[in-house]
Amino acid sequence: MYGTAIVLHTLVTAPLALGAALRPRLDNGVAKTPPMGWNTYNHYSCSPNETIVKSNAKALVDLGLADLGYRYVTTDCGWTVANRTADGSLTWNETLFPSGFPALGEYIHGLGLLFGVYEDAGIRSCQTNIEQAGSLYHESQDAALFTSWKIDALKYDNCFSDAASGYPNVNYEPSTSPSPRYANMTKALAAQNRSVLFQICEWGVDFPALWAPALGHTWRIGNDIIPAWRAIYRTLNQAVPQTSFAGPGQWPDLDMLEVGNNILTTAEEQTHFSLWAILKSPLVIGGALKDEVTSMNAESLAILSNKDVVSFNQDSLGVSATLKRRWSEEQYEVWSGPLSGGRTVAALINWADESRELTLNLADVGIQAARTLKDIWAGKTVGNVKSSYTATVAGHGVMLVELSDTTAAGTYPTAKFATTKGNSVTFGSIYANTTSANHTLLVTFSKSSTKATSITAESSSTKQKSTINVAASSRTASSSISLSAGSANTITISSTLPIDSIRIKSPTGTYYPSTAFTLAGSATLLQCGTGYCQPVGSKIGDLDSTNTAKITVPAAVSSTTSSKYVELDYINNDIAFSTSWGLGSNSRNITVSLNGGSPVRLEVPLSGRHSELFGPGLGWWDTSSLGVLIDGWKDGDNEVVVGNEAGSNAFQTWGADFVGLRVFD
Ligand SMILES: *[C@@H]1O[C@H](CO)[C@@H](O)[C@H](O)[C@H]1NC(C)=O
Ligand SMILES: *[C@@H]1O[C@H](CO)[C@@H](O)[C@H](O)[C@H]1NC(C)=O
Ligand SMILES: *[C@@H]1O[C@H](CO)[C@@H](O)[C@H](O)[C@H]1NC(C)=O
Ligand SMILES: *[C@@H]1O[C@H](CO)[C@@H](O)[C@H](O)[C@H]1NC(C)=O
Ligand SMILES: *[C@@H]1O[C@H](CO)[C@@H](O)[C@H](O)[C@H]1NC(C)=O
Ligand SMILES: *[C@@H]1O[C@H](CO)[C@@H](O)[C@H](O)[C@H]1NC(C)=O
Ligand SMILES: *[C@@H]1O[C@H](CO)[C@@H](O)[C@H](O)[C@H]1NC(C)=O
Ligand SMILES: *[C@@H]1O[C@H](CO)[C@@H](O)[C@H](O)[C@H]1NC(C)=O
C-alpha cells in the first residue's frame, strides 16, 4: 500500500543489507518472536524496589501470564546509585534492594523467568531528582558485571548522553548519531559469554529502524508512551513508516503497555493491546500485577491474557500489520497483516467517542471472502463472510478479526457469490473502491467453449446489457464493466457455458503529479534529491487553508454525481519529540476539495524512512500513499484543490507535503 513499487523495494532490502554489513550483530538466537514481559516503569516510575519486583514477578507466574510468554522481568530506572564503587563498578541501591541484584536475578530465575536490567548510554541515567550513574564509557565493565549477575536482557536508555552539548538530560537534536554509543554496548555484550536481549531505547532519534537492527533486538520507535489515550494515536502514526522493518530478531518497540494502570477504558485497552500485538511490538506489561496495595483488575488481566491476540504477536511469520485505510473525518481506520497458515489479521479502530456500527470491507485487506472470521473481542466466529463484515465497535474500541481460508480480493467463485436461474447467473456483493465504467470483468468458464459464442453481462450500476464474445476453445472472456463504489453491486451474466468464477479488476486510474498543479499564495513546488519524492521527484510544500494547489480533472460520469477513489501521495516527517507529552501526534492534515464542495480531510501519519537529522531531505523526501473516496464528481471538467483547510484552527497549521494524486476513473 505504501508508496510505489520502487519505494517498497528500498524499504524491504535496506535493513537486511545493513544487517549483513554491520558487525557485530547480536544475532544470538534471542527474540525470534517479539519479547514479552513486565517492567517497573509505567506504574512505579523511577522508584522500583525489591519487594515490588518480586511480588510482580511472582504474579506473572501465579496469574498464568508466564505460561503465555511474559517472561522478562525488568527493573527500570532508579535501581542504581550516583557514584560507582572504588573499582569503578556499578552497584544497586541497598536501601531499595537489600538482598542485591544477583539475588534478585536468582529469585527471578527460580520462578522460571528471565532477568532484565536497565541502564543508560549516557553519563547518568534518566532520573532527574536523584542522580544515577550511566554506562557511557563503562560499557565493557558494565556488560561484564551484568552478565556475572546472569542477566537475560538489557534495556538501554539515552539520557545525559550528548557530549557535544554538555550532556543535558535530553537532546532530541544531537549533532552526532546515538548509534556509535549503542554499538559500543553491543560490542561489550557480544564479548560476554551470555545471550542477552539488547533493547535500544533512544526514543526514535535518527530513525533507528535503519541501524538498530544491526545492533540490538528491539528499538523504541518514538518518545515515551504517556498515561493518556491520545498516546495511542501518536504512537501508531509513528509506527506506520517502519512496519516493514519488523522481523525475527528485530522488532520496532511501541513502548510498554498501559493496560491495567486504570488510565484507559476497557475498549481503549483492547485497542492498545491489539495494535501493539499485530504490529509485533514487544509486549511488556507496565501495570502493577500485584504489590502490597495493588492487584490488577480482572478486565485488564483478561486482555493481557487473550490467547488469540498473544498468538498474533508471537506468530512464526513475524510480519507486522500495516495501515491500509484511514477515514479521518469519519474517525476510523483499518490495519492488517498476514499470519502463518495463510491467515490474515485485521483491526478496525473506532477513534470516535461513541459506540457505532462499522463495516470492514474485506477488499481493503486484500480479501474477497473468508470461510471463517473470528471476531476476537466479541468472542464469536462467523462462517462464509462475503465482501464485508459489519459489527458494533465501542467508542475508542477495536474490531479485531482473524480471517482464515480466504479468497483473494477481486475473485468471486460462482459457488460462493452467485445464484443461478437457467442460463442466468447473478453475482452479488461485488465490491468496487471507485465508481467507474472502466472496471474489467473477467469470466472463467468451468470448461472451454467448443465454438465461438457470446454471452451478455449486466451490472446493477448501469442496467445496460453488454455482449461479450467468447473465442472458440477458450475458457475465459473479458470486457469492461461499470460498477459503483461500495459492495452493493450485482452482475448478471447470461451464458450457455457454465461459469466457474468471475474476477473484477479496478481501473488503473490517471496520475496527476505535483508538477502539473497551479499554485496559489505561498504554496511552493520543491525539487527533491534524485530518486526521492517518488514517483514525481518533486513535491508541493507550505500548504494551508489559503496556500493551495489546484488542477482540472476531466471525468466521464453517467449518473448525476459520482464517487471516485483517489490515492494521495504525501510526505510528512513532523516527528513529535518534545511535543509528545502534549498534543504532538506525528500527523498532518491534507484536504482535497472537489468543485468547491466541502473538503475531504485525511490526517496522514509519518512517511519518513530516513534520519530526521542527517538523512536525505531529513526524511522529508519519502513518499507514502493513502486512499480517500471523494464524492461529487461531475461529467466533464472537475476542479480539484489540495491544501489544509483545517489548518487555521488545528494543532498544526501546515498541511502534509503533496507529491501527486491518482484518480481511479
Ligand atoms: C516499594 O514500593 C512500593 C510501591 O511504591 C511501596 O509501597 C513500598 O513501601 C516500597 N517498599 C520499600 C521497602 O521501599
Ligand atoms: C537509595 O534510594 C533511596 C530512596 O529513593 C534514596 O533516598 C537514597 O538516596 C538512595 N541511595 C543512594 C546511595 O543513592
Ligand atoms: C558522588 O561523588 C561526587 C564526587 O565525588 C560527590 O560530590 C557526590 O556528593 C556523590 N554523590 C552521592 C549521592 O553520594
Ligand atoms: C566507543 O568505544 C571506543 C573504544 O572504547 C571509544 O574510543 C569511543 O569513543 C566510543 N564511542 C562513543 C560514541 O562513545
Ligand atoms: C560459556 O558458557 C557456557 C554455558 O553457559 C559454559 O559451558 C562455557 O564454559 C562458557 N565458556 C567460557 C569461555 O566461559
Ligand atoms: C476510462 O479510462 C480512460 C483512460 O484512463 C479514460 O480516458 C476514460 O475517460 C475512462 N472512462 C470512463 C468512463 O471513466
Ligand atoms: C482500489 O483499487 C485500486 C486499483 O485496483 C488498487 O490499486 C487499490 O489498492 C484499491 N484500494 C483498496 C484500498 O482496496
Ligand atoms: C487535523 O484536523 C483536525 C480537524 O480539524 C484537528 O482536530 C487536528 O488537530 C488536525 N491535526 C493536526 C496535526 O493539526
Reported as a single tens digit per residue, the pLDDT across 435-459 is: 999 999 999 999 999 999 999 999 9
pLDDT of residue 462: 85
Mean of the pLDDT values across residues 110-125?
98
Domains 322-402 and 411-505 agree in fold: no
Residue whose entry in the numeric block shows the C-alpha cell 525470534 = 32
Question: Top-level CATH class of 510-664?
Answer: mainly beta
Mean of the pLDDT values across residues 247-258?
97
Confidence at 463, pLDDT banded by 50, 70, 90: confident
Instruction: Identify the residue whose C-alpha is closest to ligand 7 atom 6.
Output: 506
**Spacing, Cα 83 to ligand 3 middle (Å):** 6
Report whether residue 98 contacts ligand 2, using a CB cutoff of 6 Å. Answer: no
Q: Which amino acid is at 611?
A: S
Q: Residue 92 carries which DSSP code?
A: B
Confidence at 3, pLDDT banded by 50, 70, 90: very low
Residues in Cβ contact with 98 at an 8 Å cutoff, skipping those fewer than 6 apart: 50
Looking at the chain, the whole-number percentage of residues with pLDDT higher than 70 is 95
CA of 507, closest atom in ligand 7:
4
Report whether residue 181 contacts ligand 4, using a CB cutoff of 6 Å. Answer: yes
pLDDT in tens, 273-322: 999 999 999 999 999 999 999 999 999 999 999 999 999 999 999 999 99
Pocket test for ligand 7, best of 506, 510, 661 (most atoms within 8 A of CB): 506
> Distance between CA 529 and CA 498 in Å, rounded?
55
CA of 410, closest atom in ligand 7:
5
In the chain, where the domains are located: 2-313, 322-402, 411-505, 510-664
Report whether residue 324 contacts ligand 4, using a CB cutoff of 6 Å. Answer: no
pLDDT in tens, 46-63: 999 999 999 999 999 999
* 1: β partners: none
CB neighbourhood size of 393 (10 A) = 25
Catalytic residues: 157, 224
**Spacing, Cα 192 to ligand 5 middle (Å):** 10
Looking at the chain, the whole-number percentage of residues with pLDDT higher than 90 is 92
DSSP-assigned states of every residue in 310-329:
HHHHT-TT----EEEEEETT
**Containing H/E element for 44?**
helix 41-44
**Spacing, Cα 484 to ligand 7 middle (Å):** 14
pLDDT in tens, 118-152: 999 999 999 878 899 999 999 999 999 999 999 99
Question: Top-level CATH class of 411-505?
Answer: mainly beta
Report whether residue 511 contacts ligand 6, using a CB cutoff of 6 Å. Answer: no
Please give the CATH topology (third level) of the domain spanning 2-313. TIM Barrel (3.20.20)
Residues in Cβ contact with 459 at an 8 Å cutoff, skipping those fewer than 6 apart: 430, 481, 482, 483, 489, 490, 491
Q: Which one of the ligands is nearest to 5 CA? A: 7
pLDDT in tens, 604-651: 999 999 999 999 999 999 999 999 999 999 999 999 999 999 888 888
> Distance between CA 514 and CA 661 in Å, rounded?
8
Residue 15 has pLDDT above 50, yes or no: no
Q: Residue 599 carries which DSSP code?
A: P
pTM (whole model) above 0.85: yes
Please give the CATH topology (third level) of the domain spanning 322-402. Immunoglobulin-like (2.60.40)
**Spacing, Cα 646 to ligand 8 middle (Å):** 6
Pocket test for ligand 8, best of 330, 575, 651, 653 (most atoms within 8 A of CB): 651
Mean of the pLDDT values across residues 11-17?
33
Confidence at 185, pLDDT banded by 50, 70, 90: very high
pLDDT of residue 27: 63
Instruction: Identify the residue whose C-alpha is closest to ligand 7 atom 5.
Output: 506
CA distance from start to end of the chain: 19
Residues in Cβ contact with 175 at an 8 Å cutoff, skipping those fewer than 6 apart: 162, 164, 165
Dihedral of CA 624/628/634/639: which sign?
negative
CA of 366, closest atom in ligand 7:
14
> Distance between CA 145 and CA 148 in Å, rounded?
5
pLDDT in tens, 380-408: 999 999 999 999 999 999 999 999 999 99
Per the model's pLDDT, the better-predicted residue between 430 and 27 turns out to be: 430
**Containing H/E element for 180?**
helix 179-190
Residue 18 has pLDDT above 70, yes or no: no
Instruction: Identify the residue whose C-alpha is closest to ligand 8 atom 6.
Output: 650
**Spacing, Cα 178 to ligand 3 middle (Å):** 27
pLDDT of residue 558: 80
Q: Which one of the ligands is nearest to 588 CA? A: 8
> Distance between CA 318 and CA 34 in Å, rounded?
8
Confidence at 8, pLDDT banded by 50, 70, 90: very low
Residue 41 has pLDDT above 80, yes or no: yes
656, 572 contact by CB (below 8 A):
yes
> Distance between CA 145 and CA 328 in Å, rounded?
51
Per the model's pLDDT, the better-predicted residue between 516 and 462 turns out to be: 516
Pocket test for ligand 3, best of 80, 83, 91 (most atoms within 8 A of CB): 83
Instruction: Identify the residue whose C-alpha is closest to ligand 2 atom 6.
Output: 95
Q: Which whole-number Å values give the CA distances from 124 to 145, 232, 322, 438, in the listed order?
A: 18, 29, 37, 63
